Every structure is written in structure tokens, then in C-alpha cells.
């Protein structure tokens, strides 16, 4: 199980738990954070965009070229930060327990 500390779009913070081995996007979507994940993890919509706290961002694998391209594509619609990630590309694990994320504005 991974513990995820989430800051919602309205600034409220709460902590959820999710099974290791599943995408962060699914955990956030299933916990009713109003995160769409419309493309189901194909990196073609950007609706699962989150900001990762810097300490945790450094512990994640680098963004793939496809993920980076999608983030660049949505940059005209929402703020994209150096810690922006598509949550569909982050697989939860025990090592990520305690990860801190902020739900980005809707695309």
C-alpha cells in the first residue's frame, strides 16, 4: 500500500491509501478528486495532470518523450511546472508511500 498526500484544486489536503502496482491516476480518480484520466493512460489527453512535490519528483523515473510532449501540448491551457507529471505514468509502490501531489487545474 502507498499513502498519497493530495492537495485538491480548492486547496484542501487529504491523505488516501492505494494498492502498489497501480497507476497514481487510477487511485486519484477512484478517490473522487475530479481527475478525469479520459484516455485511460495513453498519454493523449492530459486530464490526469498533477504537480509532484519537488522532494518526490526527484525520486520518480524521468518523463518519457511522449509524456513530455503531452505536457507541452497542454501548456497553453494550464500552468505546466518543472514538477508537472501525468499521473497515469506514475506506478505506485511502497517506495512512493507518502508521495505528495497537487491536482493541477482542469484541461
Domain with residue 81: its CATH number is 3.10.20.30
Dist. CA 28–CA 30, nearest whole Å: 6
DSSP structure class, residue 77? T
80: Cβ contacts below 8 Å, ≥ 6 apart: 49, 71, 72, 74
pLDDT per position as a tens digit, 11-24 = 999 999 999 999 99
Domain hosting residue 42, numbered range: 2-103
pLDDT per position as a tens digit, 38-54 = 999 999 999 999 999 99
Q: Whole-prediction pTM value?
A: 0.95
DSSP structure class, residue 91? B
DSSP structure class, residue 107? -
Amino acid at each position: 500500500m502507498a499513502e498519497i498526500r493530495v492537495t485538491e484544486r480548492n486547496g484542501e489536503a487529504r491523505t488516501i491509501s492505494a494498492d502498489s502496482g497501480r497507476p497514481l491516476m487510477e487511485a486519484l480518480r477512484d478517490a473522487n478528486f475530479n481527475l478525469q484520466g479520459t484516455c485511460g493512460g495513453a498519454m493523449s489527453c492530459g486530464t490526469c495532470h498533477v504537480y509532484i512535490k519537488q522532494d518526490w519528483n526527484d525520486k520518480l523515473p524521468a518523463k518519457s518523450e511522449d509524456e513530455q510532449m503531452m505536457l507541452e501540448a497542454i501548456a497553453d491551457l494550464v500552468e505546466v511546472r518543472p514538477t508537472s507529471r501525468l499521473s497515469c505514468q506514475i506506478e505506485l509502490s511502497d517506495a512512493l508511500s507518502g508521495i505528495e501531489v497537487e491536482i493541477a487545474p482542469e484541461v
